[in-house]
Amino acid sequence: MSIALKKLPKFTLGVEEEYMILDPTTRDLRSHMSKIVEGGKIQLREQVKAEMHQSVVEVGTNICQNIAEARKEVSFLRRKIDELARAQGLVAGASSTHPFAKWQDQEITDDPRYHNIVNELKDIARSNLIFGLHVHVGIESREIALQLMNQACYFLPHIYALTTNSPFWEGRNTGFKAFRAKVFAKFPRTGLPEYFDSVQSYDNFLEILVKTNCIDNPKKIWWDLRMHPFFSTIEFRICDMCLTVDETICVVALIQAVVAKLYKLLMSNTSFNIYRIALIRENKFRAARNGIEGLLIDFGKKVEVPTRELILELLDFVDDVVDELGSREEINYVHQILERGTGADQQLAVFEQTGSLESVVDFITSKFTEGI
């Protein structure tokens, strides 16, 4: 029996971004020795934290009631990190890999959590010099959250393609629009999540891993999409770090709309098709390699389709929930991304014009506070 859905839940939002801290002269990553984090905690408290590598700063918004609040918070955090970095003679940037930095040169943050990870994963952890965007969407019911997680997996490559922003790695053009995922894939328990038929089976899976000392807590499940172990959210972790606030907020709005639309279908007993993870993995690879320029597979029709067309179909799919969420303007920004190109497309264009990876870094840092 379907439920007459008069009004959508709020689908509150939380946004986490990881920024690179750079020397403006060498353009290389620079260990900030916690000065930025320590200075940030005076103003931002728990909204700023150190990451494993000292050249990385992670920020997180408070719980946002809508996309307008999310924009305000992300803009505020970028502005503050920019100010704190400049006060130390440094600059900040948003890209999922640095164009030429070497992970071997990076210092590890002196924290027991990171020492434990390095002790367990060795060079896999030390070489994980990447930066990501994580988006939380609030859902109170774990049963509903699991169903939405299973269904939303299909759309992960579409969303991923829009965020691709890591074409370079250690001074090389990798040939991928998003090489970050290839670096992170060395970690255990990453990539697309398995299908779970119940919350009990999900919890049993986590319990086995903890009991057998594979993990010490469920946060060490680093899937592209997961039910958060401590918050009432599903967390989208697949995205590359976006160059600008406008791009970040566009992607956040699209993720929220996908969840809202799938929820609306679920409440009317019209669940979205669930496809094999092995098939979706094919689309993820294509998105990583070609971004919005390539072809994805339409599994329903069993044909290849230009990624741009499938993204436009996705916009049509969520259109009936966008106005209630108040995010039409933000989601319409997808058209600008399709016209101008993703962060990876723009980085590659700068490199083609200049032949200089230092110029690519300058481009990345120049975009950090654009639109704020």
Structure tokens at 26: 């060498």
Cα distance between the two ends of the chain: 47
Q: Which residues pair with 19 in a beta bridge?
A: 57
Q: How far is CA 370 from the centre of its chain?
A: 19
Partners of 225 in the β-ladder: 236
The per-residue pLDDT for range 175-195, each reduced to its tens digit, is 999 999 999 999 999 999 999
pLDDT at residue 319, as a whole number? 98
Does residue 20 surpass a pLDDT of 70?
yes
Secondary structure in 3-state letters for 219-237: HHCEECEEECCCCCEEEEC
What are 191's strand-pairing partners?
A: 223
Q: Which of 10-19, 115-124, 273-282 has the lowest mean pLDDT?
A: 115-124
pTM: 0.96
Taking CA atoms, 281 is separated from 41, 71, 286, in Å, by 39, 31, 9
Question: Would you call 63 helix, strand, or coil by DSSP?
Answer: coil
Is there a contact between 97 and 183 (Cβ–Cβ < 8 Å)?
yes
Instruction: Kindly list the domain boundaries of the chain, sorted by start residue.
Output: 13-366
What is the fold, at CATH topology level, of the domain defined by 13-366?
Creatine Kinase; Chain A, domain 2 (3.30.590)
Asked if residue 11 has pLDDT above 80, the reply is yes
**Chain segment 89-148, per-residue pLDDT in tens:** 999 999 999 999 999 998 888 888 888 889 988 999 899 999 999 999 999 999 999 999
Model confidence at 281, in pLDDT bands (50, 70, 90)?
very high
What are the contacts of 267-272 at 24+ separation with CB within 8 A? 267/2, 267/3, 267/5, 268/2, 268/3, 268/5, 269/1, 269/2, 270/2, 271/147, 271/151, 272/151, 272/154
Q: How distant, in Å, are the alpha carbons of 114, 172, 226, 329 from that of 223?
A: 19, 27, 6, 30
Name the residue type at position 24: P
Contact 37, 52 (CB under 8 A): no
pLDDT, position 90: 94
